[in-house]
Amino acid sequence: MAFLVKQILGDKLKDITGGLAEETPEVEKSEAEAKGMTQEEFVQYQQQLAEEKMERDANFVQRKAERATVRTHLRDKYRLPKSVVDETQIGMAGKDVELPEELAKMIAEDEEENQLSFLGQLTNIQNVDIDQLKDKAQTTLEELKQSTEKCDVM
């Protein structure tokens, strides 16, 4: 109710008095005072926030580069096309990006298993023409079939 009375009579009262009794606006507080700190404490606080943000950003870029390294390794392993985005992320890290230790152990185990298998040995040989090997295998099978057809015992 007081609000309505002030609203209705307030404007008319200002007109009569000529605005002599105007309320003085409160002085705006600086950002430091609003947070209950001195100016020096506020500057120090802002610097600390900036340093923490830079550190978080650096860690984030490092993690992104590690993930890109993992993707690059998997692309190399499965002979997939390379990605420019991954190379860019690795380059943004600035320093050498290594695989996480757990992943490096898993990769080493996979490589050992591949080296023990026959196909793993074939992929390690540099100058092997797989098409030529397939052709030789097919011709030998055909020769065996022909020799078995000629055999009288069978």
Q: pLDDT, tens digit, for every residue of 29-44? A: 677 777 778 888 889 9
pLDDT at 153 over 70: no
Instruction: Give residue 48's pLDDT band: very low, low, confident or very high (50, 70, 90).
Output: very high
For residue range 112-140, list pLDDT tens digits in order: 776 666 666 666 565 666 777 788 888 99
Average pLDDT for the chain: 78
pLDDT at 20 over 60: no
Q: How far apart are CA 18 and CA 105, in angstroms?
A: 86
Q: How far apart are CA 72 and CA 84, in angstroms?
A: 10
pLDDT at 47 over 90: yes
DSSP state of 1: -
What's the token pair of residue 2? 């007081």
What is the SS3 assignment for 97? coil
Q: What is the pLDDT of residue 54?
A: 96
Answer yes or no: are the C-beta atoms of 55 and 84 closer than 8 Å. Answer: no
Percent over 70 (pLDDT), the chain: 70
Q: What is the pLDDT of residue 19?
A: 53
pLDDT at 22 over 60: no
Q: How far apart are CA 23 and CA 27, in angstroms?
A: 12
The overall longest dimension of the chain from CA atoms, in Å, is: 135
Q: What is the pLDDT of residue 56?
A: 96
Q: Any alpha helices (H) in the chain, and if so which ranges?
A: 2-17, 31-34, 39-77, 84-93, 101-116, 118-124, 130-150
pTM confidence score: 0.49
- Burial class for 89, CB neighbours closer than 10 Å (0-12, 13-18, 19+): buried
